[in-house]
Amino acid sequence: MKINIYYGGRGIVGDSTLFVLSRMQKVLEELNVHVERINLYERKHNITSLPSTLNDADGIILATTVEWYGLGGYMTQFLDACWLYGNKKKISELYMCPVVISTTYGERQGVMTLQTAWDTLGGRSLAGMSAYVRDSVAFELNQEYVKVIERTAENFYRTISRKSVILPASSQEVKQMVTKEAPIDFTPQETEQLSRYASDDKYIQTQKEDLKELASHFKTLLKNDGMSEEEVMLNNFRKSFTPQNSFSAVYSMEVSGFDEPLLLNVKNSSLTAAFEKTNDPTVLCKVTKDKLENITSGKETFQHAFMSGDMQVKGDFRMLRMLDTVFPFG
């Protein structure tokens, strides 16, 4: 038998919830139960991957401390992750024992919240235990309290061992009402993998950037009648090409935003325009895509871009001056 303990408090010294869990864990281990303690505050950056740890458990203890109002963020995040990424079939077989200790007010409401949440997930919730602790030292030294804690652990063990039947709760119907679409059945391995992706900030950021790039790409296609930016650029040069007698040159333009250089191979009255590399261009230019679009739209010339420093050039500068003659945009 394996029981997981999920602690949603802050782990501060003097937290009586930790004392209760230690006593319960000791009793369970004496009954040959394998107990795994998971402190949510230590796993706060990958809480969304924790529902996968439910897959090999027979029962769980959800424990937290009410220091001000409600269960606290870590436990709420974990329950949200169980709803979004948990294996619902496995959860439906799990017994849950709530443990809530309050230093102010609201321990019973806390237990009720955990029970309702687990019922809504489709699991089997038990009565559990709650307590208000004003003096942690006096609480831990009270042997009658210790016996209550130990009996709670023993009863939890018996319930799981006997697979006791739990009467249905109305909150379980919420799961059926809000889950209108047919659920996608994932294996435990697939569920764990998906939850890991969801907790990986770098992966999520990469996906957002990819989606943004795709959106920009399709927006460009719509704007240009289904043509890519590369095709539009090549068409602009082909339409503007004005052959010169006995003139040949190879222009290679490294344009930011395009993967390959723009190659313009002029041979007398013929032009070959493509996005590809060449080993020995007559003129090598470096220019931004925005600046090149300004030139092809007739807003400025190649010579002006070079003189203003917006275009870097290497090679035969006499051939550079011919660019505006061979390609008179505007």
In this predicted model, what pLDDT tens digit does every residue of 160-196 receive, in sequence order? 999 888 877 766 565 555 555 455 566 666 666 666 6
Residues of the chain with CATH 3.30.1050.10: 229-326
Exposed/middle/buried for 239, CB within 10 Å: 0-12, 13-18, 19+?
exposed
Residues of the chain with CATH 3.40.50.360: 2-199
Q: What is the pLDDT of residue 189?
A: 62
Q: Cβ distance 90 to 49 under 8 Å?
A: no
Which structure tokens are listed for 200?
Answer: 């990986």
- What number is the average pLDDT over the span 263-273? 92
Q: What is the pLDDT of residue 203?
A: 67
Q: What is the pLDDT of residue 197?
A: 64
Of 54-63, 172-181, 245-254, 271-280, give the lowest mean pLDDT range. Answer: 172-181
Q: How are beta strands 129-132 and 95-102 bridged, if at all?
A: parallel
pTM given for the model: 0.55
> Is the pLDDT confidence value at 3 over 90?
yes
Q: What is the pLDDT of residue 176?
A: 56
Q: What is the pLDDT of residue 76?
A: 92
- What number is the average pLDDT over the span 282-309? 91
- What number is the average pLDDT over the span 147-156? 94
| In the chain, % of residues over pLDDT 90 | 57
pLDDT classification of 283: cutoffs 50, 70, 90:
very high
In this predicted model, what pLDDT tens digit does every residue of 47-92 receive, in sequence order? 989 999 999 999 999 999 998 888 888 999 999 999 999 998 999 9
> Which CATH code, of 3.40.190.10, 3.10.580.10, 3.30.1050.10, 3.30.420.40, is assigned to 229-326?
3.30.1050.10
Fold type of domain 2-199: Rossmann fold (3.40.50)
Q: What is the pLDDT of residue 112?
A: 92
Q: What is the pLDDT of residue 317?
A: 83
The mean pLDDT of the chain is 86
> Is the pLDDT confidence value at 217 over 70?
no
- What number is the average pLDDT over the span 110-122? 92
- What number is the average pLDDT over the span 212-228? 61
